[in-house]
Amino acid sequence: MKRILVMGAAGQIGSELVPALRAVYGVDSVVAADLCALSAMPDSLRVGPCEQIDILDIPKTVSVIKKYNIDTIYNLVALLSSVGETKPQLSWDINLGGLMNLLEISREHKLALFTPSSIGAFGPSTPPDNTPQDTIQRPTSMYGVTKVAGELLADYYHQKYGVDARGVRFPGIISNVTLPGGGTTDYAVQIYYDAIKKGSFVSNIGAGTYMDMMYMPDATRAAIEVMEADPAKLIHRNCFNVAAMSFDPEEIAASVKKAIPNFAMSYDVDEVRQAIANSWPNKMDDSAARDEWGWKHEYNLEKTTADMLSVLKQRYQ
Protein backbone atom coordinates (compact mmCIF):
# COMPACT_ATOMS: atom_id res chain seq x y z
CA MET A 1 0.00 0.00 0.00
CA LYS A 2 1.35 3.42 -0.98
CA ARG A 3 2.17 6.12 1.61
CA ILE A 4 1.49 9.39 -0.15
CA LEU A 5 2.35 13.06 0.40
CA VAL A 6 0.26 15.57 -1.55
CA MET A 7 1.99 18.96 -1.89
CA GLY A 8 -0.36 21.87 -2.65
CA ALA A 9 -3.24 19.88 -1.18
CA ALA A 10 -5.54 22.84 -0.46
CA GLY A 11 -5.71 23.99 -4.09
CA GLN A 12 -8.27 23.24 -6.79
CA ILE A 13 -6.98 19.76 -7.66
CA GLY A 14 -5.53 18.82 -4.26
CA SER A 15 -8.76 19.43 -2.37
CA GLU A 16 -10.38 16.68 -4.47
CA LEU A 17 -7.37 14.48 -5.18
CA VAL A 18 -6.64 13.96 -1.46
CA PRO A 19 -10.11 12.48 -0.74
CA ALA A 20 -9.87 10.40 -3.96
CA LEU A 21 -6.46 9.02 -2.92
CA ARG A 22 -7.70 8.37 0.61
CA ALA A 23 -10.64 6.41 -0.80
CA VAL A 24 -8.16 4.14 -2.61
CA TYR A 25 -5.23 3.89 -0.18
CA GLY A 26 -6.80 4.70 3.21
CA VAL A 27 -7.19 7.96 5.11
CA ASP A 28 -4.03 7.57 7.21
CA SER A 29 -1.87 6.74 4.17
CA VAL A 30 -2.34 10.14 2.50
CA VAL A 31 -0.78 13.27 4.04
CA ALA A 32 -2.22 16.59 2.86
CA ALA A 33 0.43 19.34 2.83
CA ASP A 34 0.10 22.97 1.86
CA LEU A 35 1.74 26.34 2.43
CA CYS A 36 -1.34 27.50 4.32
CA ALA A 37 -1.69 27.11 8.08
CA LEU A 38 -3.30 23.87 9.23
CA SER A 39 -6.25 25.88 10.57
CA ALA A 40 -6.84 27.21 7.02
CA MET A 41 -6.94 23.72 5.45
CA PRO A 42 -10.39 22.64 4.24
CA ASP A 43 -12.24 20.50 6.81
CA SER A 44 -12.50 17.75 4.20
CA LEU A 45 -8.70 17.37 4.30
CA ARG A 46 -8.39 17.61 8.07
CA VAL A 47 -10.09 14.24 8.56
CA GLY A 48 -6.64 12.73 7.93
CA PRO A 49 -2.97 13.69 8.45
CA CYS A 50 -2.10 17.26 7.43
CA GLU A 51 1.14 19.25 7.48
CA GLN A 52 2.14 22.82 6.68
CA ILE A 53 5.02 22.73 4.16
CA ASP A 54 6.62 25.33 1.89
CA ILE A 55 7.81 23.45 -1.22
CA LEU A 56 11.01 25.50 -1.11
CA ASP A 57 11.76 24.26 2.44
CA ILE A 58 13.72 21.04 1.78
CA PRO A 59 14.49 20.09 5.44
CA LYS A 60 10.80 20.38 6.43
CA THR A 61 9.72 18.36 3.38
CA VAL A 62 12.24 15.63 4.19
CA SER A 63 11.23 15.54 7.86
CA VAL A 64 7.57 14.98 6.88
CA ILE A 65 8.59 12.26 4.40
CA LYS A 66 10.48 10.47 7.18
CA LYS A 67 7.75 11.03 9.79
CA TYR A 68 5.10 9.30 7.64
CA ASN A 69 7.37 6.87 5.77
CA ILE A 70 6.26 8.38 2.44
CA ASP A 71 7.00 6.52 -0.82
CA THR A 72 5.04 8.63 -3.33
CA ILE A 73 4.62 12.39 -3.79
CA TYR A 74 1.91 14.18 -5.75
CA ASN A 75 3.21 17.66 -6.53
CA LEU A 76 0.34 20.05 -7.19
CA VAL A 77 2.14 23.27 -6.27
CA ALA A 78 2.04 25.82 -9.10
CA LEU A 79 1.38 29.40 -10.03
CA LEU A 80 -1.07 29.13 -12.95
CA SER A 81 -0.74 30.72 -16.37
CA SER A 82 -2.39 34.10 -16.02
CA VAL A 83 -0.93 34.98 -12.61
CA GLY A 84 2.44 33.70 -13.85
CA GLU A 85 2.52 36.55 -16.36
CA THR A 86 2.34 39.09 -13.52
CA LYS A 87 4.91 37.24 -11.36
CA PRO A 88 7.27 35.47 -13.78
CA GLN A 89 10.19 35.09 -11.36
CA LEU A 90 8.02 33.71 -8.59
CA SER A 91 6.43 31.39 -11.15
CA TRP A 92 9.88 30.07 -12.11
CA ASP A 93 10.94 29.69 -8.45
CA ILE A 94 7.80 27.88 -7.33
CA ASN A 95 6.96 25.81 -10.40
CA LEU A 96 10.46 24.74 -11.32
CA GLY A 97 12.43 25.31 -8.10
CA GLY A 98 9.77 23.36 -6.20
CA LEU A 99 9.86 20.52 -8.73
CA MET A 100 13.66 20.40 -8.66
CA ASN A 101 13.56 20.06 -4.86
CA LEU A 102 11.07 17.21 -5.05
CA LEU A 103 13.02 15.41 -7.79
CA GLU A 104 16.19 15.60 -5.72
CA ILE A 105 14.34 14.38 -2.62
CA SER A 106 12.79 11.58 -4.71
CA ARG A 107 16.22 10.57 -6.00
CA GLU A 108 17.74 10.52 -2.53
CA HIS A 109 14.83 8.78 -0.78
CA LYS A 110 13.75 6.56 -3.71
CA LEU A 111 10.25 7.98 -4.03
CA ALA A 112 7.78 8.00 -6.92
CA LEU A 113 6.72 11.48 -8.04
CA PHE A 114 3.65 12.70 -9.92
CA THR A 115 3.81 16.23 -11.35
CA PRO A 116 1.15 17.52 -13.70
CA SER A 117 2.12 19.34 -16.84
CA SER A 118 -0.54 21.18 -18.81
CA ILE A 119 -1.88 22.23 -22.19
CA GLY A 120 0.17 25.31 -21.26
CA ALA A 121 3.30 23.39 -22.29
CA PHE A 122 2.33 24.03 -25.92
CA GLY A 123 2.67 27.24 -27.88
CA PRO A 124 1.61 29.02 -31.06
CA SER A 125 3.81 26.87 -33.32
CA THR A 126 2.31 23.63 -31.93
CA PRO A 127 -0.24 21.96 -34.26
CA PRO A 128 -3.50 23.17 -32.63
CA ASP A 129 -5.81 20.36 -33.76
CA ASN A 130 -5.30 16.80 -32.56
CA THR A 131 -2.08 18.03 -30.97
CA PRO A 132 0.24 15.01 -30.96
CA GLN A 133 1.91 13.59 -27.86
CA ASP A 134 5.35 14.41 -29.24
CA THR A 135 5.39 17.70 -31.09
CA ILE A 136 6.72 21.26 -31.17
CA GLN A 137 6.68 22.88 -27.69
CA ARG A 138 7.61 26.55 -27.78
CA PRO A 139 5.22 28.11 -25.21
CA THR A 140 5.04 31.88 -24.89
CA SER A 141 3.88 32.12 -21.24
CA MET A 142 6.17 31.78 -18.21
CA TYR A 143 3.83 29.05 -16.94
CA GLY A 144 4.40 27.17 -20.19
CA VAL A 145 8.16 27.63 -19.98
CA THR A 146 8.15 26.10 -16.48
CA LYS A 147 5.92 23.24 -17.65
CA VAL A 148 8.13 22.28 -20.61
CA ALA A 149 11.26 22.55 -18.48
CA GLY A 150 9.52 20.49 -15.79
CA GLU A 151 8.63 17.74 -18.28
CA LEU A 152 12.25 17.58 -19.43
CA LEU A 153 13.60 17.67 -15.89
CA ALA A 154 11.34 14.83 -14.78
CA ASP A 155 12.36 12.74 -17.82
CA TYR A 156 16.01 13.51 -17.04
CA TYR A 157 15.67 12.32 -13.44
CA HIS A 158 14.02 9.14 -14.65
CA GLN A 159 16.63 8.39 -17.31
CA LYS A 160 19.67 9.40 -15.30
CA TYR A 161 18.72 8.36 -11.76
CA GLY A 162 15.79 5.95 -12.22
CA VAL A 163 13.35 8.21 -10.35
CA ASP A 164 9.81 6.93 -10.94
CA ALA A 165 8.58 10.32 -12.16
CA ARG A 166 5.30 10.38 -14.10
CA GLY A 167 2.80 12.99 -15.21
CA VAL A 168 -0.02 14.05 -17.48
CA ARG A 169 -0.70 17.23 -19.42
CA PHE A 170 -3.92 18.39 -17.84
CA PRO A 171 -6.49 20.41 -19.76
CA GLY A 172 -8.42 23.15 -17.92
CA ILE A 173 -10.05 21.43 -14.93
CA ILE A 174 -13.73 22.06 -14.14
CA SER A 175 -14.67 21.50 -10.51
CA ASN A 176 -16.97 22.57 -7.69
CA VAL A 177 -15.05 22.19 -4.42
CA THR A 178 -12.22 24.74 -4.58
CA LEU A 179 -12.16 27.51 -7.18
CA PRO A 180 -9.08 27.72 -9.39
CA GLY A 181 -7.08 30.92 -9.22
CA GLY A 182 -5.02 32.72 -11.82
CA GLY A 183 -5.58 30.34 -14.73
CA THR A 184 -6.63 30.94 -18.33
CA THR A 185 -9.26 28.20 -18.29
CA ASP A 186 -10.89 29.44 -15.04
CA TYR A 187 -13.80 30.93 -17.00
CA ALA A 188 -15.12 27.41 -17.61
CA VAL A 189 -15.58 26.96 -13.85
CA GLN A 190 -16.86 30.45 -13.03
CA ILE A 191 -19.60 30.26 -15.68
CA TYR A 192 -21.41 27.58 -13.64
CA TYR A 193 -21.15 29.51 -10.36
CA ASP A 194 -22.43 32.72 -11.98
CA ALA A 195 -25.18 30.89 -13.85
CA ILE A 196 -26.55 29.58 -10.54
CA LYS A 197 -25.91 32.69 -8.45
CA LYS A 198 -26.71 35.47 -10.97
CA GLY A 199 -28.21 33.89 -14.07
CA SER A 200 -25.58 35.59 -16.22
CA PHE A 201 -21.85 35.48 -16.91
CA VAL A 202 -19.21 37.76 -18.42
CA SER A 203 -16.57 35.70 -20.24
CA ASN A 204 -12.98 36.93 -20.23
CA ILE A 205 -12.21 34.52 -23.11
CA GLY A 206 -13.56 35.34 -26.54
CA ALA A 207 -16.03 33.38 -28.68
CA GLY A 208 -14.40 30.82 -30.95
CA THR A 209 -11.52 30.10 -28.53
CA TYR A 210 -11.38 26.33 -28.18
CA MET A 211 -9.43 24.69 -25.34
CA ASP A 212 -9.31 21.18 -23.87
CA MET A 213 -11.20 20.82 -20.58
CA MET A 214 -11.79 17.97 -18.12
CA TYR A 215 -14.16 17.39 -15.20
CA MET A 216 -12.46 16.83 -11.85
CA PRO A 217 -13.50 13.17 -11.33
CA ASP A 218 -11.70 12.31 -14.59
CA ALA A 219 -8.68 14.42 -13.58
CA THR A 220 -8.22 12.75 -10.19
CA ARG A 221 -8.67 9.32 -11.78
CA ALA A 222 -6.03 10.14 -14.42
CA ALA A 223 -3.56 11.16 -11.71
CA ILE A 224 -4.13 7.92 -9.80
CA GLU A 225 -4.17 5.63 -12.85
CA VAL A 226 -0.95 6.93 -14.40
CA MET A 227 0.85 6.27 -11.10
CA GLU A 228 -0.64 2.75 -10.95
CA ALA A 229 0.27 1.97 -14.57
CA ASP A 230 2.59 -0.96 -15.32
CA PRO A 231 5.97 0.73 -15.91
CA ALA A 232 6.88 -1.92 -18.50
CA LYS A 233 4.08 -0.61 -20.73
CA LEU A 234 5.08 3.05 -20.56
CA ILE A 235 6.87 4.28 -23.67
CA HIS A 236 6.30 7.85 -22.58
CA ARG A 237 6.49 8.57 -18.91
CA ASN A 238 6.06 12.16 -18.05
CA CYS A 239 3.38 14.35 -19.43
CA PHE A 240 0.88 12.23 -21.29
CA ASN A 241 -1.72 14.26 -23.19
CA VAL A 242 -5.07 13.47 -21.51
CA ALA A 243 -8.25 14.83 -23.06
CA ALA A 244 -11.96 14.68 -22.38
CA MET A 245 -13.77 17.56 -24.16
CA SER A 246 -13.00 20.69 -26.12
CA PHE A 247 -15.33 23.68 -26.42
CA ASP A 248 -15.40 27.46 -26.79
CA PRO A 249 -17.36 29.89 -24.57
CA GLU A 250 -20.38 29.77 -26.93
CA GLU A 251 -20.66 25.99 -26.58
CA ILE A 252 -20.40 25.88 -22.79
CA ALA A 253 -22.91 28.77 -22.56
CA ALA A 254 -25.31 26.84 -24.83
CA SER A 255 -25.03 23.79 -22.59
CA VAL A 256 -25.82 25.92 -19.50
CA LYS A 257 -28.72 27.58 -21.34
CA LYS A 258 -30.33 24.19 -21.97
CA ALA A 259 -30.78 23.85 -18.20
CA ILE A 260 -31.29 27.56 -17.41
CA PRO A 261 -33.14 29.05 -20.40
CA ASN A 262 -32.83 32.67 -19.15
CA PHE A 263 -29.05 32.40 -18.76
CA ALA A 264 -27.20 35.15 -20.67
CA MET A 265 -23.50 35.48 -21.45
CA SER A 266 -21.61 38.57 -22.57
CA TYR A 267 -17.92 39.22 -23.22
CA ASP A 268 -15.23 41.39 -21.62
CA VAL A 269 -12.10 39.78 -23.04
CA ASP A 270 -8.95 39.86 -20.91
CA GLU A 271 -6.02 40.47 -23.27
CA VAL A 272 -3.44 38.51 -21.28
CA ARG A 273 -5.65 35.44 -20.88
CA GLN A 274 -6.82 35.62 -24.49
CA ALA A 275 -3.25 35.73 -25.81
CA ILE A 276 -2.39 32.68 -23.71
CA ALA A 277 -5.52 30.84 -24.82
CA ASN A 278 -4.77 31.61 -28.48
CA SER A 279 -1.35 30.01 -28.09
CA TRP A 280 -2.76 26.74 -26.66
CA PRO A 281 -4.13 23.74 -28.59
CA ASN A 282 -7.79 23.53 -29.60
CA LYS A 283 -7.81 19.81 -28.90
CA MET A 284 -5.12 17.31 -27.95
CA ASP A 285 -4.66 13.77 -29.24
CA ASP A 286 -4.38 11.58 -26.13
CA SER A 287 -3.96 8.22 -27.86
CA ALA A 288 -0.58 7.58 -26.17
CA ALA A 289 -2.26 7.66 -22.73
CA ARG A 290 -5.10 5.49 -24.04
CA ASP A 291 -2.69 2.93 -25.55
CA GLU A 292 -0.02 2.85 -22.83
CA TRP A 293 -2.11 2.85 -19.65
CA GLY A 294 -5.73 2.62 -20.68
CA TRP A 295 -6.81 6.24 -20.15
CA LYS A 296 -10.50 6.82 -20.89
CA HIS A 297 -12.52 9.89 -19.94
CA GLU A 298 -16.05 9.56 -18.57
CA TYR A 299 -17.37 13.13 -18.61
CA ASN A 300 -18.23 15.06 -21.77
CA LEU A 301 -19.60 18.63 -21.71
CA GLU A 302 -23.22 17.55 -21.31
CA LYS A 303 -22.50 15.28 -18.32
CA THR A 304 -20.20 17.88 -16.75
CA THR A 305 -22.79 20.65 -17.04
CA ALA A 306 -25.51 18.46 -15.55
CA ASP A 307 -23.35 17.53 -12.55
CA MET A 308 -21.91 21.02 -11.97
CA LEU A 309 -25.33 22.68 -12.05
CA SER A 310 -26.92 20.10 -9.80
CA VAL A 311 -24.15 20.37 -7.16
CA LEU A 312 -24.08 24.18 -7.23
CA LYS A 313 -27.88 24.47 -7.23
CA GLN A 314 -28.06 22.39 -4.07
CA ARG A 315 -25.35 24.50 -2.47
CA TYR A 316 -26.54 28.00 -3.40
CA GLN A 317 -30.30 27.89 -4.01
Residues in contact with ligand AKB by CB under 6 A are: 80-81, 118-120, 143, 170, 172, 180, 183-185
Q: Name the residue nearer to ligand AKB (CB basis): 147 or 237.
A: 147
Q: How far is CA 19 from CA 30, 42, 44, 151, in A?
A: 9, 11, 8, 26
- The Cα 65–Cα 55 span in angstroms is 13
Least CB distance to ligand AKB at residue 170 (A): 6
Least CB distance to ligand AKB at residue 39 (A): 27
Residue nearest to ligand AKB (CB): 183
Q: Name the residue nearer to ligand AKB (CB basis): 22 or 147.
A: 147
Choosing from 143, 157, 192, 299, the catalytic residue is: 143
β-pair partners for 30: 4
Least Cα distance to 137 among 239, 289, 270, 213 occurs for: 239
Q: Name the residue nearer to ligand AKB (CB basis): 81 or 131.
A: 81
User: Residue 26: which region, alpha, beta or left (left: phi > 0; alpha: psi -120 to 50)?
Assistant: left
- The Cα 167–Cα 114 span in angstroms is 5
Q: Name the residue nearer to ligand AKB (CB basis): 50 or 242.
A: 242
Strand 112-114 versus strand 117-118 pairing type? unpaired
Least CB distance to ligand AKB at residue 60 (A): 27
Q: How far is CA 189 from CA 132, 274, 275, in A?
A: 26, 16, 19
Q: Name the residue nearer to ligand AKB (CB basis): 118 or 209.
A: 118
Catalytic residue status for 143:
yes
CA angle centred on 229, ends 99 and 103, rounded to 5°: 15
Three-state DSSP state, 205: coil
Inter-residue contact 316 to 196 (CB < 8 Å): yes
Residue 200 burial by Cβ neighbours in a 10 Å radius (0-12, 13-18, 19+): middle
Q: Name the residue nearer to ligand AKB (CB basis): 19 or 120.
A: 120
Active site residues: 143
